[in-house]
Amino acid sequence: MTGSLTLYLDNSGDPGWTPPFGKSITTWYIAGGIVLTPEADQKAGIEVQRILKKYIPETQRRKFTPREYEIHYHKIVGGHDIFDHMDHSARKAMSDEVFALIKGLNPVLFATAINKTQLKRVYGGRAYHPKALAIQATIGRFSFYLEREDKIGSIMMDEEEYRKDKELQSLVHTFRRDGIMIRGTNYQPMYENTLTNILNAPSFTPSHISPGIQLADVISRCTWTHFERQKSNRFNELQPLWDSGERVFEPSVVPARSRWI
């Protein structure tokens, strides 16, 4: 077994159920991740800092907390918070550099796209919560990828997301004890995996000090925009990077479209 990889995982969208099952106004929930080698990880750190420094002058940086000095794709596109000094052309130029960086790292991408309305319609009361399902499914496929490639790996997620989400805390604590298990009649995906090639349980770090998590934010957001809003230019740029092993299709859509009601 050779090689060590890290999956940086983030999410985009509201995990709440849509009417008539809940009050969420969006249909899709995404867990998306980027897999980096140690060398790509190091390059990402250098380049993310270069991009931030290029587009955010020190006078602007001092107006915000250190936690806000990071690549956050939704805020870049909208010109919010630390990016509010930038016009559209500058924000596009920054986005261009971020996507060029992702492609230049030659990573492998994973994502699970949950159609919350169809999930509830197909499985009713048996439906897994969208956030839990998206995270489990994505980590599970990463684990199978590691086995297929004969590599070991680790998982890194946003500390802030973990801190404020009791359900996520409980979910993470079960990973090592029970493995990644998604079961049920005709449930897709349906597999069982004990994460044998993944070191320890998922770890957590503040996103502003983790370029990998910042890039995972970009992956998950552009994937969400593709499914939720049919705005796919950025998503299409990344098409060659999705994992494409035997019987694997990334991003994975849940439930399978063939089961939509």
> How much is the pLDDT for 160?
78
> How much is the pLDDT for 249?
80
> How much is the pLDDT for 184?
46
Q: How many helices and strands in the chain, by DSSP H and E?
A: 10, 8
> How much is the pLDDT for 189?
45
Q: How far from 261 is each of 115, 220, 256, 258, CA to CA, in Å? A: 12, 26, 11, 9
CA-closest candidate to residue 251, choices 64, 96, 143, 115: 115
Whether pLDDT at 147 is above 50? yes
Provide the residue range defining the domain that includes 222: 4-259
Question: Is the pLDDT higher at 114 or at 165?
Answer: 114
pTM: 0.90
How many domains does the structure of the chain reveal? 1
**3's torsion region: left (phi>0), alpha (psi -120 to 50) or beta?**
left
| Chain segment 167-219, per-residue pLDDT in tens | 676 776 666 566 665 554 444 544 455 566 776 667 889 999 999 999 999 99
Question: Is the pLDDT higher at 168 or at 148?
Answer: 148
Tell me the CATH number at 117: 3.30.420.10
> How much is the pLDDT for 202?
78
| Chain segment 67-78, per-residue pLDDT in tens | 999 999 999 999
